[in-house]
Amino acid sequence: MVSVKVKFRPSSIEGKMGTLYFQVIQHRITRIQKTRYKLYPEEWDTRSLSIILPTENPERHQLLSGIQKSIRQDLARFDECLSILAHNKIDYSADDIVETFRKRCLSGTLNAFAHKLISQMEEQGRFRTGETYKSALESFMRFRSGQEILLEEINQDIIKAYETYLKQQHLTLNTISFYMRI
């Protein structure tokens, strides 16, 4: 029986955010899949293994709701990976589960795609183009509060929200055009 749970690792520095991770157990062997999701200890319920959404801070509530949604999507991806493994293999390990998740899910992220392009540009000696891509990626990841996004999840609504975010940052039209074009 396979177990995939979301766990919280608090920071060793008091007052700093800790990190969420996935714990995968198969045949009593435990493996961990790190995430980029960060939150404060008081925002995590250790009994129910879930995020506590604050009512007094709407911005933080929205951010944590987004993390909560991403966790659900990641757990669904783990289920997809388990189905694939069950279909292709008679017996599989916790390592197989985590590896399948990484290959199938994390390789299709914007970060993975962009870093691959940036590396290709640098290999071709096109350093300025690589820097341009890096700058655009950093801007988009600030918009996403560091949350990863799958390429298949990028749609017209997300791009419009990104454009609105750029305008709210009081950037010039040329800068907004630059980021949107990339």
Identity of the residue numbered 148: E
The closest of 77, 97, 56, 78 to 153, measured between CA atoms, is: 77
The band of 113, judged by pLDDT with boundaries at 50, 70 and 90, is confident
pTM of the model: 0.59
Tell me the pLDDT tens digit for each residue of 136-182.
999 998 998 877 787 877 899 999 999 999 999 999 999 999 999 99
In degrees and rounded to multiples of 5, residue 62 shows phi and psi of -65, -45
Dig out the tokens for 32 from the structure: 């961990």
In degrees and rounded to multiples of 5, residue 159 shows phi and psi of -65, -40
- Computed on alpha carbons and rounded to an integer, the radius of gyration of the chain in Å comes to 19
